[in-house]
Amino acid sequence: MSDDLSLEKRAMRAELRERRRILTTTGRTDANAAITQNLIALATRLEARSLSAYLSTPDEPSTREFLAWAHSQSIRVLLPISRSDGLLDWAEFDGSDEFEDDLGMPAPTSEPLSPNALDEMDLIIVPAASVDRTGMRMGWGRGYFDKTLGSMQQCPPVYAVIFDDELVDAVPSERHDQRINGVVTPSGIVDL
């Protein structure tokens, strides 16, 4: 990666982190409620009986209420567990306990499955810092999801969960960055 591109990505991520950090409690609560409804609408529209997602952190748009809904609907949900080698393991969400993985991210306590377990999903929900209108996703710089998506033989639809102002005209990208099919925001579902 060129130094200019690296600096551009770092600056954009810092700005996005700060915007998320200073979001008001009311603004976050309202946005999260709308995101939950839009995630449910997406899963329903795609008739997903299995999906992968992630346990959101406090500053991220929340996926937790959506995960509780999916569990209550008997939808099979796989969640990532970050490994120190830069890859992801997957484990079934059982609606209960969680721990912090190697990167300090929330992860399920159920037994890890083969990375190939993701091949059986109907929908993949990923985190993002920002997404552009061509579907280029900018993550938080570790490359876990880009590696995962790039290694899949047949990838189901992939949607990122972001706040409205994080859907932009362009994000800096590199050859290994992966495009996605759409985003879920408080305002709705945007297919890209």
At 25-49, the pLDDT tens digits run 999 999 999 999 999 999 999 999 9
Q: How far is C-alpha 133 from the chain's CA centre?
A: 17
Bridge partners of 125, per DSSP, are 159
pLDDT value of residue 174: 82
Cα distances (angstroms) measured from residue 191 to each of 39, 72, 123, 157, 159: 13, 26, 14, 10, 8
> Mean pLDDT over residues 53-66, rounded?
93
Q: What is the pLDDT of residues 149-174, one digit of tens each?
A: 888 878 899 999 999 999 999 998 88
Q: Please say whether the beta carbons of 104 and 136 come within 8 A.
A: no
Nearest to 54 by CA among 83, 38, 77: 77
Higher pLDDT pick, 182 / 8: 182
Confidence of residue 2 (pLDDT cuts 50, 70, 90): low
Phi, psi (rounded to 5 degrees) for 117: -60, -25
pLDDT averaged over every residue in the chain? 90
- Buried b or exposed e, range 162-174, using 16+ CB within 10 angstroms: bbeebbeeebbbe
CATH class, domain 3-191, is alpha beta
pLDDT value of residue 84: 78
Q: What's 155's DSSP letter?
A: -
pTM across the whole model: 0.91
Confidence of residue 1 (pLDDT cuts 50, 70, 90): low
Residue-range domain boundaries for the chain: 3-191
> Mean pLDDT over residues 75-87, rounded?
86
Residue at 65: amino acid letter: E
